[in-house]
Amino acid sequence: MHGALHGIRIIEVSQVLAAPFCGYQFALLGADVIKVELPDAPDCARGRGPLEELNNQGIGLTYQVQGGNKKSLALDIRSQTGRETLLRLVETADVLIENYATGVLQGLGLGYEDMRSRNPEIIYCSMTGYGDTGPKATKGAYDNTIQAASGTIAQCNGVKPGVSFVDYAAGYSAAFAISAALLQKPRTGKGCYISASMLEVALSLMGPEAAALQAAPGASKRKEAGISAFETADGVLMLGAFKPAQYRKLGRCLEDIGYPVPILSGITAWADIWANSDAIRVALQDIFIRQSAAKWQVHLEGWDIPAERVATLSSAIAEAQVSARGYFSKSPANPEITLPLAGYKMSAGGPDLTLAPPSLGQDSREILEQAGLKASEIDALVQEGIVK
């Protein structure tokens, strides 16, 4: 069975995380995704990861986690011949994704207008740190600098989260925009230009906080003990009593096992939560420390109150729940390596990993032949170093 996006062709002129991850979403769903890299300066993610042997082969794990199901074209787009070759390829494509700094591809004659002149229906997605307008439009960025610029690190008490979540959220956001443009095209008969901003994605992830700060700049952050972390006898437990009704249910749960907290029965509105949060927290701290996290999970889940022990990543990926869902898939090239799929399942046409991440230039000749280049033309490009 074909994936849901079988028949869609995407050219991904990309590097590092955000755009490759965006392209990976389409590749998992059966789209024909062609990753274009410079022969002498490929995606630096190819050399990153904990296994040096793979890094040296140009297929490091940082590259592999978003490189499967794609084809690789090593093409020097800095040369006139290379640029013309890419434009010929664009004539056969539905989408182009790129994440160079604003203006870089335009300066090479590979901007949206250049590509639209060759393919009026092309959907061109430019993924940058700050978007293509404004005083920071041409400024380079990485996930960590966007976390700093967006206020994310400040919101986390000055500590940078140890994951590249902005890159990956930007990839999802751009994939959604591209999908919308693909649905729009049959109605309009036209392509679309998309400017995706990592900064705006980061702010979107803090939407409630950003809106509240603008509406009430002097307001302090609301305290909510029911969605806080508590020390237990053997670890930290994250409690998930969010709504007023869940506070009351928590009170009944604790009273049932001999730990009454009278204040919980009087929580009927958000204002009650905010006004009594400090007192509730003190009471819960004294209670949760008395038993293990595992025992508390049994008690709380018996009352349908969400709670989870704060887990390490190593324990999280070994969870039976993750295995049951089949989130990780064995690499088609190496069964000892497992790679992530997608965070959803579909009854038909869903995500599937069938092809190993390609080595640099692995599919160059095949791709160019399909674009209409003759064998002699491809040989000449290889001899000139424009294609690998």
Which amino acids are annotated catalytic?
A: 167
* Residue (of 309, 239, 323) closest to 281 by Cα position: 239
Query: CA torsion sign, 209 to 160 to 53 to 20?
Result: positive
Which residues lie closer than 8 Å to 344 by C-beta, 6 or more apart?
350, 351
What tokens were used for 55? 């890094």
Which residues lie closer than 8 Å to 337 by C-beta, 6 or more apart?
61, 64, 330, 331
* Residue (of 84, 93, 121, 76) closest to 34 by Cα position: 93
Which residue reads 């074909």 in tokens?
2
Q: Which amino acid appears at position 6 of this protein?
A: H
Give bridge partners of residue 11 from the DSSP assignment. Answer: 34, 96
CA 106 → CA 77, 82, 136, distances in Å?
A: 12, 15, 17
Which residue reads 């610029």 in tokens?
149
- Kindly report the backbone phi and psi dihedral angles of residue 231, in degrees, each rounded to the nearest multiple of 5, phi listed first: -70, 135
Q: What does the CA dihedral 117, 122, 127, 132 come to, rounded to 10 degrees?
A: 40
Which residues lie closer than 8 Å to 43 by C-beta, 6 or more apart?
14, 15, 16, 20, 35, 37, 63
What tokens were used for 37? 């890299």
* Residue (of 201, 168, 192) closest to 19 by Cα position: 168
Query: CA torsion sign, 58 to 102 to 160 to 228?
Result: negative
Query: CA torsion sign, 233 to 222 to 143 to 363?
Result: positive
Instruction: For residues 278 and 258, give the distance between their C-alpha atoms in angstroms, rounded to a whole number.
Output: 22
